[in-house]
Chains A and B, each alone.
Chain A
Amino acid sequence: DAGVIQSPRHEVTEMGQEVTLRCKPISGHNSLFWYRQTMMRGLELLIYFNNNVPIDDSGMPEDRFSAKMPNASFSTLKIQPSEPRDSAVYFCASSPSGGGVTEAFFGQGTRLTVV
Chain B
Amino acid sequence: SQQGEEDPQALSIQEGENATMNCSYKTSINNLQWYRQNSGRGLVHLILIRSNEREKHSGRLRVTLDTSKKSSSLLITASRAADTASYFCATADTGRRALTFGSGTRLQVQP
Q: Is A50 an interface residue (CB 8 A)?
A: yes
Complex Cα distance, B106 from A106, in Å, reads 19
Q: Is the CB of B42 within 8 A of A104?
A: no
A window 40-64: CB within 8 A of B: 41-45, 48, 50, 55-56
Residue tally, chain B, CB below 8 Å to A: 25
Q: Is the CB of A42 within 8 A of B45?
A: no
Q: Is the CB of B97 within 8 A of A99?
A: yes
Residue tally, chain A, CB below 8 Å to B: 28
Q: Is the CB of A101 within 8 A of B30?
A: yes
CB within 8 A of A99: which of B98, B103, B104?
Answer: B98
Residues of A within 8 A of B (CB): 4, 31, 33, 35, 41-45, 48, 50, 55-56, 91, 93, 97-109
